[in-house]
């Protein structure tokens, strides 16, 4: 059963909250990059587990077989774990992986807004890794959260407009009683 791409608005809102949490974790952890990496790994797993029931009840477009989505979720989590362990990434590997995973998911769903938001996250995460400035990392995480919130809003609008009946649609006939 396939739904529609707009149903991804709840998971995208979750990603926005995840990035706000990442900014808070970064401020609290300071130079403890292991704590930031752990946050992204755990938060990504929690997000996947919380989003799954929503997506079962409100199916996304599902333009690939369900095994592809499961593989993407597993690879995303393993890559976040691996990315968090690479010292040169300063604990932000999960950020990069999450953005790349959202690009892949957006491509599967044929959702340009998800691809764009994911690509922004990868770009912002790359800048944060290279700049090596805590204040810039926090700022970029908050900006990424805003981008994901905007994407969630756009998807929600798409979802709601998909459910509306056009004004020029013919009325359904009255039920016949026998």
Residue 158 lies in a domain: no
Residue 48 lies in a domain: yes
Number of domains in the chain: 1
Structural domain range at position 51: 5-153
Residue 147 lies in a domain: yes
Other CB atoms within 10 A of residue 55 CB = 17
Comparison of pLDDT for 31 and 25, the residue scoring more: 25
Residue 168 lies in a domain: no
Q: How many Å apart are CA 46 and CA 29, to the nearest integer?
A: 20
Tens digit of pLDDT for each residue in 111-128? 999 999 999 999 999 999
63-92 average pLDDT score: 84
Residue 165 lies in a domain: no
Residue 75 lies in a domain: yes
Residue 132 lies in a domain: yes
Residue 166 lies in a domain: no
């Amino acid at each position: 059963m396939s739904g529609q791409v707009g149903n991804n608005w709840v998971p995208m809102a979750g990603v926005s909250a995840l990035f706000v949490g990442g900014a808070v974790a970064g401020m609290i952890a300071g130079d403890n990059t292991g704590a930031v990496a752990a946050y992204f790994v755990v938060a990504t797993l929690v997000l996947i587990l919380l989003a799954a029931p929503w997506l079962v009840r409100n199916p996304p477009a599902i333009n690939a077989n369900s095994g592809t989505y499961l593989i993407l979720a597993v690879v995303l989590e393993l890559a976040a774990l691996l990315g968090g362990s690479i010292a040169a990434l300063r604990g932000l590997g999960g950020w990069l992986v999450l953005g790349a995973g959202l690009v892949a998911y957006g491509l599967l769903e044929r959702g340009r807004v998800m691809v764009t938001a994911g690509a922004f996250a990868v770009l912002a995460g790359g800048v944060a890794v290279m700049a090596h400035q805590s204040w810039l990392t926090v700022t970029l995480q908050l900006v990424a959260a805003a981008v994901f919130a905007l994407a969630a809003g756009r998807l929600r609008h798409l979802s709601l407009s998909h459910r509306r009946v056009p004004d020029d649609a013919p009325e359904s006939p009255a039920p016949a009683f026998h």
